Amino acid sequence: VLFGMLAERLGFAILHMQTHFPDCEALRLVEGGKWQHVRVELEFESRSFVKHLHELDGCDVIVCWENNWPECPVEVIELKKVVRRLMGGF
């Protein structure tokens, strides 16, 4: 639900949510006002991606509450920081 509420603010348009990997297919607004198709995995912690044995080539972005995988080879959006920034730094 939180990702759905923040998706528009983050430049995403959700196409499809599902219960298997990847969790979400979306369009992402990129440079030049173009839309890029992305596969999004939703996790509470980014490192759970590894625990769940997901394939790196099946995901473009991990959206999580906490990024605890600093060396992650996939882009990570940490919602905890995004929410803080949107709320003015609280």
Which three-class secondary structure string do you get for 50-75? Answer: HHCCCCHHHCCEEEEEECCCCCCCCE
pLDDT tens track for 15-44:
999 999 999 999 999 999 999 999 999 999
Band of the pLDDT at 9, cuts 50, 70, 90? confident
Q: What is the pLDDT of residue 90?
A: 55
78 contact partners, CB below 8 Å, separation of at least 6: 46, 64, 65, 66, 67
Under the banding of pLDDT at 50, 70 and 90, the label for residue 6 is: confident
Instruction: Calculate mean pLDDT across residues 79-83.
Output: 90
pLDDT at residue 10, as a whole number: 86
